[in-house]
Amino acid sequence: MSEQATSGTTTLIAGVRFSAVGKAYNFDASKIGNIKPGDMVLVETSRGLQLGEVVKLITNVDPVGEEPIKPITRLANPRDLLQRQNLRRREEQATGACRARAQELKLLGVKIVSAEYSFDGTRLSIMFSTDTEEKVDLKSLRQDMQRTFAPAQVELRQIGPRDVAKMMGGMGVCGLECRCCSRFLTEFNSISIRMAKEQNISLTPGEITGMCGRLRCCLIYEYETYVNARLQLPKRNKRVYTPVGEGKVVDIYPLRDSVMVEVGDGVYREFKREEIQPADELDAVQKKAENPCPNPEDPNCAQATGENE
């Protein structure tokens, strides 16, 4: 969604959100007096006139980029709020009608998720998802919806499984009554299987995938903490010196800042990071101290040896 304007100098920026848990877009509020977070405003977007809520204000901001930000059209009044309620009811009707028509056309694998009118009623966006990545021909469905809901311009917009889960809401697989995506996540981050491995989480699909069928968004919450903690600890199978002798690291506990070391045949003990020293590094330092000139024919080395003498 583009929120760029054509002219004006921005001194007051308002972050406007169009859904309960959605991304906030910046608009120029310098010409709107006495505006505050929680106010409902009308703004012009790439999808037409929209009603949104002011969630934050930023003052004394210099324009960034070549084009300033689009201005807020005006504050919403009670009549605007009533119109939004009426549009909500029309959106539910449009969703039901589109689902029924998709079933009549036998569009297998196509799920009609929701519908959204622009505030002025000139645009109707119908969100859908598919079970496969193959492109589905929805030309007939769009034409039928265009005839049914004319004069509004009908658009069929495909969304991903995470967006579907966000819109549908419901309980998460972790037991939370409301999923993270529907509760506070305004944007989806890229999640990889490496994040689960780094945290020693079971790779069983049922334990690392969410209701959307994708990797859980929460895998990224503590990922950076684990990565930083592991950087301070030796890796598995590394030799270390401990208070009870030399041993081999067999497991790592990043959050406890400790490692499990095999100090003998079948003997395992846990040590804090400050209690161990990497054996390979200490051996290399000791070897270098005992033989400072590994190549006597090197003139630089010979010169250094002479200086030491």
Q: Which three-class secondary structure string do you get for 38-101?
A: CCEEEEEECCEEEEEEEEEEEECCCCCCCCCECEEEEECCHHHHHHHHHHHHHHHHHHHHHHHH
Q: Is the pTM higher than 0.75?
A: no
Per DSSP, helices labelled H in the chain are 78-104, 139-148, 161-168, 180-183, 193-198, 205-208, 223-231, 279-290, 299-308
State pLDDT tens for residues 30-39. Answer: 888 889 999 9
Angle, helix 139-148 to helix 78-104, in steps of 10 degrees: 140
Contacts made by residues 32-39, CB under 8 angstroms, sequence distance 24+ = 32/72, 32/74, 32/75, 35/72, 35/75, 39/75, 39/76
Lowest-confidence range among 82-91, 175-184, 294-303?
A: 294-303
- Residues with Cβ within 8 Å of 111's Cβ and at least 6 positions away in sequence, in order, are 128, 129, 130, 131, 164
In this structure, are residues 24 and 16 in contact, taking their beta carbons and an 8 Å threshold?
yes
State pLDDT tens for residues 81-126. Answer: 999 999 999 999 999 999 999 999 999 889 999 999 999 999 999 9
State pLDDT tens for residues 143-170. Answer: 999 999 999 999 999 999 999 999 888 8
